[in-house]
Amino acid sequence: MHKTKILDGNEFIYKAPDTKILSDGSFTWKAPSNIALVKYWGKHGMQLPKNTSISFTLDACHTITTLEFRNHTKVGSISHKNELNFNVYVDDQRQDDFKPKIAAFLTRIKNYVPFLDDYDLNIKTHNSFPHSSGIASSASGMAALALCIMSMEKELNPSMSDEFFYQKASWLARLGSGSAARSIKGSIVVWGEHPGLKGSSDLFGVEFPHEVHTNFHNFHDTILLVDKGQKQVSSTVGHNLMHEHPFAGQRFDQANENISKLSAILQNGDLKAFVALVESEALTLHAMMMTSNPYFILMKPNTLSIINKIWDFRKKTGATICFTLDAGANVHVLYPEKEKKSIHKFITTELLQFCQNRHYISDRIGAGAKNLTK
Ligand code: DP6
């Protein structure tokens, strides 16, 4: 099998003969959500990150997508060649509201997967978490769709290596949503080139390239649903505000330094250092939002109540518990497997009161996407 070194992404332009047509069929992939430990916040060019980010892959939060394809030439006289023809179904209901976002994604990736034009597509997705949970489905959703498209390409070009398959899947997913690049393969994923992490790239996510200490095996993430509403400011708008941000340069340098520190921590198992770094990253992300022009706040009063409770509990008990946040008010509570009993009790008795309808999701570090095609 040939190995192609990926330099600028042109290597991902589809090259197999386009005379080959797939018979009607479908592919199904399950792709996970992920939670960043060192955050991606600021991008440039075509969805390229301003700094390296690193995430835990989740397990319970995922999207399952089936991509059905039917070749035009077989279905009658109308040929849609060079046109995207697709429908989107969420939980078996046709959802035309989702079409513009998917159309923008498919148009953006068209050069790399031109064969899509030859088919009528049905994209059928299910999220494991409710749409109204305030948890973004873009990472897992874009990743699952990108993987289905790559399964089509693999069928057209069976000599493709697994490495190429996953790198291009992550590349495509990234063009849909940056953090989706980290929802393809592996338990701990790095996106963005970093001198300390061999193989890392701005173009796609790769598995953390070092052995991970057992302290981080089976790590838990209990997601506390503080606010299930639509965010007032989207991530894309927030990323763009980093262009003129007075602290942007320092933030990108800090994130890259934090990657080096976290890389060492993940290998040596220093849980105290992990807690300090992860919480600092979460608060820095929100500090960037609060110091943007225009400024905005995504945390809610209950987000802060939870953070204070976690700090009190940690001070009192010495437990290894910390929080992180994504671009919203929900709180991800992180803790190791060996402390799960006492921490779960603390969460139930002290933290659920701050969640909307006491709703939360018990998640943990997962293993990456899975092909569910029958
Ligand atoms: C705060 O990946 O949602 O969750 O690339 O515009 O789709 P787009 O943004 P998105 O940004 C995620 C931001 C974050 C941090 C992270 O996941 O690293």
pLDDT digits (tens, 9 = 90+) for 304-353: 999 999 999 999 999 999 999 999 999 999 999 999 999 999 999 999 99
Please give the average per-residue pLDDT across 112-128, as a whole number.
95
For ligand 1, atom 5: residue with the closest CA: 178
Q: What is the CATH number for 276?
A: 3.30.230.10
Residue 202 belongs to some domain of the structure = yes
Mutate to test the pocket of ligand 1, among 38, 102, 239 (most ligand atoms within 8 A of CB): 239
Is pLDDT at 234 greater than 50 in this prediction?
yes
Confidence of residue 233 (pLDDT cuts 50, 70, 90): confident
Residue 251 maps to a domain: yes
How confident is the model at residue 140, as a pLDDT?
A: 97
Query: What is the distance in A from the centroid of ligand 1 to the CA of 197?
Result: 21
Asked if residue 152 belongs to a domain, the reply is yes
In a domain, residue 12? The reply is no
Question: What pLDDT sits at residue 75?
Answer: 47
Which pLDDT does position 166 carry in this prediction? 98
Which residues does ligand 1 sit against, CB inside 6 Å?
Answer: 36, 39-41, 47, 53, 136, 138, 177-179, 235-236, 239, 285, 326-327
H helix runs in the chain, sequence order: 99-109, 138-156, 162-176, 235-241, 248-268, 271-290, 301-317, 340-346
Q: How many domains does the chain have?
A: 1
- CA of 76 from ligand 1 middle (Å) equals 42
Q: What is the mean pLDDT of residues 283-291?
A: 98
Q: Which class for 21: exposed (0-12), middle (13-18), buried (19 or more C-beta within 10 A)?
A: middle
Amino acid at 265: I
9, part of any domain: no
Q: Is residue 63 part of a domain?
A: yes
Contact present, 227 and 361 (Cβ < 8 Å)? no
Q: Is the pTM of this model over 0.85?
A: yes
The residue whose CB lies within 8 Å of the most ligand 1 atoms, and thus the one to mutate among 39, 40, 202, is: 40
Quick: pLDDT tens for 137-193: 899 999 999 999 999 999 999 999 999 999 999 999 999 999 999 999 999 999 999
Tell me, in angstroms, the distance from the centre of ligand 1 to residue 41's CA.
7
> SS3 helix, strand, coil % of the chain, rounded to 5?
40, 25, 35
In ligand 1, which atom is closest to the CA atom of 236? 6
pLDDT above 80 for 17 = no
Could you tell me if residue 6 is inside a domain?
A: no
Domain membership flag for residue 240: yes
Among 366, 345, 338, which Cα is nearest to 269's?
338
Q: Which of 56, 57, 108, 179 to mutate to test the pocket of ligand 1 (most atoms within 8 A of CB)?
A: 179
Domain coverage including residue 173: 17-374
Question: pLDDT at position 1, please?
Answer: 43
Let me know: does 125 contact 63? Beta carbons within 8 Å: yes
Helix or strand (DSSP H, E) at 89: strand 85-90
Region 216-226 average pLDDT:
97
Query: What's the rounded mean pLDDT across residues 301-305?
Result: 98
